[in-house]
A and B are shown apart, each in its own frame.
Chain A
Amino acid sequence: MKPKIDVDYVSTLAHLQLTEREKADFVPKLIKIVEWVGKLEELQSVDSGIEGFHSVPFSLPFRPDEIRGSFPAESALANAPERKKDFILVPKVIEEK
């Protein structure tokens, strides 16, 4: 299977912008990688009722449902690139018409 990558669409999904130069460099490399991972096509048996993998082959312990302390607002906000009082500042989310 010759992979087709619509790199503009994928980079929009990933919130990344590529310059023309980057595209010229990235796209062939990406296609090469995707072709290479296409090797998995050879493994026909993977479609016959095998489940996806779960990384934890043991039962997961639950923690007691107790209220615990959390970060004070000040330390949670300390790394904010822009802030106003106890809020993080971002550009307007809802745009006016």
Chain B
Amino acid sequence: MSLVFAGVCSHAPGITGRAARAEPRVRDEFYAKLGELRERLEAAEPDALIVVAAEHFANFFMNNMPAYCVGMADFYEGPIEDEAWLAIERRRVPGNAALSRRIVEKLLHDIDVAYAEEWKFDHGIMVPLHFLTPRYDVPVIPVNVNCQGPPLTPLERAYEFGRALRRACDAQPERIALVGTGGISHWPATPDSGTINEAWDREFLARFLANDRAALTSYTDEETLRDAGQGGFEIRTFLAVAGATEGAKGELLFYAPIPIFAVGCTVATMAVE
């Protein structure tokens, strides 16, 4: 069939792990909007869910760091973190190796992706799945964009990767959903954890929802680091979703800074045309 759904959401470990410490009203509204994203995802009846994530040294390290990697296994496992710390139970998550392989074969015409037949999910994928496929009954295809260990893929390439991913999905008979997950501005895992640049986030979201390629790819990493923290490098996952839905517009379901979650919590969809 083709791509049938596209969305983005936050993945910070505090969203589940420090739930009790958040202000209940805003937290519950955020959770409700994640629930709405799940309902929309389910309504699209996907055969598989591609999660474009920015993993945090669960699988990939500076000894051999791919700019882009696609999982190609029939099952994965996560979370890699302490279960109590993340408040998500460790489990196997179904994959679809054959579909992954067909997608990788298509992608390789455009982007030199790596593939991995073994992959341990960290919070970057487990937190979204916890809300979006809580029964773990949709095969997941993990995709990683290196957003942690510079040098990083340029933003223009992240957008192009999304375009290539769309072509690869549209060449498959399956119904495929796509979710990107990343910051926007945040300084996770630093003494500045909890700092959020709301103005920067809202400007970025305006560019994202308009799918304004030129504006989305105009940030330099120096500017992003200064204004949006090292966590801001994760905008690459949003750019991949924008690339996959080039020409379409987005709808913001939720945005609010939640400092104890250490990120401006975001839920949005992109139209798939």
| A is bound by B | no
Q: Please report A residues at the B interface, Cβ cutoff 8 Å.
A: none
Q: Please report B residues at the A interface, Cβ cutoff 8 Å.
A: none
